[in-house]
Structure 1
Amino acid sequence: MKKFSFIFVFLLIAPLFLFSQETQQDTTEQKVKERPERPAFESSYIIDNPTDVTFIKNTLEVHMAHRFGVVNSGNNDLLGIWAPANIRIALSYAPHERVTLGFGTSKFNRLQDFNWKVALLRQTRSDKIPVNVSYYGNFVIDARGKENFLVEQHRYSYFNQLIISRRFNPNLSLQGAVSVSHYNLVPQRMRNDVVAMSLGGRYKISSQTSILVDYTQPFIHHLDGAELDMDPEAGFSVGVEFRTSSHAFQLFLSNYQGIVPQQNIVFNQNNFFEGDFLIGFNITRLYNF
């Protein structure tokens, strides 16, 4: 009789126990699903534009960017390789997993840029948050001689950009961004602020290799409605990226010879589709402390 009583009680309790286990399992799976999705991109730049990527806390990124001369310059300069080249060397540090702070120095115009990036929203694996939203900004000082400026404030420029990106699947990621570039000194009849929109994408063709595309369209409004001889051209870049756990190497064609974003958006004169493009590369290296 005792055996039958034990079996009867067991049959009553077993479903409750199984239900409790299933509930815990569902809760665990829900927590897993709510984890942030992997970053949409694998490098802090998609050729010429910042991406949504920030680093784990106490990570240092060393970034070197190189732009050769324009390929069809008309000079015997070996596809621009012998022409004057622009170079930028930069460091970025992550004091928090959602914040990076950086400094870079560029060859053309001796630009010194202080920059920052903040991850505002992160895409989740459950798609409860479907996109990443990041803010990037910089403050740039033109360090050429004082004879180039009437007042000290003419050296300064600023860039602010809101980036929205999404990782659609392990191979495809896209991003769109809107930015405002500000120069304290601009040509006559041009406004000090230029708004631009950017689109970029990455498609992985292997575990470590991706195709990159980047496009930026500036919107110029002149004070008197007249066009200038130096109205900026849209930016277009296409290239490949090779990635390891701590390195990223990008090789590309671009019509941007500047490396600081507001310099490209406001002053670029090269038209990619008329043959005014150049060879460039970006190299990054991560160090964790």
Structure 2
Amino acid sequence: MKKYKTLLLLTFLIMPFLVLAQEKQKDSIVDKPERPAFESSSIIDNATNILFSKNTLEVMMQHRFGLIDEENSLGGIYGANANIRIGVSYAILDRLTIGYGITKNNRFSDFNWKVGVLSQTRSDKIPVSITYYGNFTIDGRSGKQWDDEFYLKQHRYSYFHQLIIARRFNPNLSLQFAPSISHFNFVDGSFMNNDRFSIAFGGRFKISPQTSILLDYSQPITSFDKDEFEFDYNHPGISLGVEFATSGHAFQLFMTNYNGIVPQQNYMMNTNDFFGGDILIGFNITRVYNF
């Protein structure tokens, strides 16, 4: 009898710890980070909140054809103003990625970084993911042609900062909005400011396990006057497309009015009016390697 009493006492003493361990295990499962909101590190013209796991290398190629109404250009494919960027990024940590890219127009070299601030949880205790994206870009055009613009070396520099707030609502729908500031050390002061505040809205809706519809809208907040040629630099960026994704690849095909690829060039220098017919075709291809 004494033996049974001892066993019963031990059971009552151990029970609270078993219950606590079960609750702790349950909480850890519920509060796991939510699955990624997007397939790629970019949604057409803007970065997404996606951060790859440590020691992941991403290679990206981005191409913009000429305007589709350009004469004798086969819908812009033969367009003289086509633009291309090739870039790589590497995840130093799960929450820190750095990258480098080169762009045809303006011979841009961009050094970029992305930092995870908050991650959405499956329990909705943290309802959104917050990520900071930034870059430092150097204009590499010949100084002989642009002596007035590049009187100082610092005139070649521009910067971009963006806070990306994203939410995965369900397996099919993800949305984000992203306030940003673009800065050029040198601009035409007769109608522009060195800084421009903007906001972007983006979304992805999956129509099959590998295919999604993409929307990307970028709205300048700071207004600029028209230049001496009456070009308007205040048009929003509007992009519509589809994405085909696998575990290691993402291919985005879209139409947009942005010819630039480096974000601050799009936000500051765009004169194409989507609703006025200034539309071009573009694509983004990414490949991810895990080490």
CA distance in 1, matches of 2:209, 2:275: 31
Structure 2 residue aligned with 1:61 = 58
1:234 corresponds to which of 233, 236, 239: 236
CA distance in 1, matches of 2:251, 2:21: 44
**TM-score, length-scaled by structure 1:** 0.91
CA distance in 2, matches of 1:33, 1:260: 39
Alpha-carbon offset, residue 35 of structure 1: 1.4
Question: Partner of 1:264: helix, strand, or coil?
Answer: helix
- For residues 119-166 of structure 1, give each alpha carbon's deviation from its aligned partner in whole angstroms, at most 9, with x where no partner exists: 111111111111111111111111010121222221111101111001
Alpha-carbon offset, residue 27 of structure 1: 1.9
Alpha-carbon offset, residue 25 of structure 1: 2.4
Structure 2 residue aligned with 1:250 = 252
Amino acid at match of 1:120: V
Structure 2 residue aligned with 1:30 = 27
- For residues 215-242 of structure 1, give each alpha carbon's deviation from its aligned partner in whole angstroms, at most 9, with x where no partner exists: 00112345xxx54323321100010111
CA distance in 2, matches of 1:160, 1:199: 16
2:67 corresponds to which of 65, 70, 81: 70
2:49 corresponds to which of 49, 52, 69: 52
Structure 1 residue aligned with 2:77 = 81
Structure 2 residue aligned with 1:278 = 280
User: Given the alignment of the two structures, is residue 208 of structure 1 paired with residue 210 of structure 2, yes or no?
Assistant: yes
Alpha-carbon offset, residue 288 of structure 1: 1.1
Amino acid at match of 1:230: F
Alpha-carbon offset, residue 9 of structure 1: 8.0
Contact 1:270–1:277 under 8 Å retained in 2:
yes
Matches within 5 A, 1:93-108: 93-108=90-105
CA distance in 2, matches of 1:153, 1:230: 26
Question: Partner of 2:126: helix, strand, or coil?
Answer: coil
User: Given the alignment of the two structures, is residue 142 of structure 1 paired with residue 139 of structure 2, yes or no?
Assistant: yes
Matches within 5 A, 1:138-217: 138-147=135-144, 148=146, 149-187=150-188, 188-217=190-219
**TM-score, length-scaled by structure 2:** 0.91
Amino acid at match of 1:133: I
Matches within 5 A, 1:1-40: 21-40=18-37
User: Given the alignment of the two structures, is residue 266 of structure 1 paired with residue 263 of structure 2, yes or no?
Assistant: no
Name structure 2 gaps, 5 residues minimum: none
Alpha-carbon offset, residue 95 of structure 1: 0.5
CA distance in 1, matches of 2:12, 2:208: 47
Contact 1:71–1:80 under 8 Å retained in 2:
yes
Amino acid at match of 1:58: N
Contact 1:231–1:267 under 8 Å retained in 2:
no
Alpha-carbon offset, residue 22 of structure 1: 4.5
Question: Partner of 1:146: helix, strand, or coil?
Answer: coil
CA distance in 2, matches of 1:227, 1:72: 23
Alpha-carbon offset, residue 37 of structure 1: 0.9
Identical-pair percentage: 57
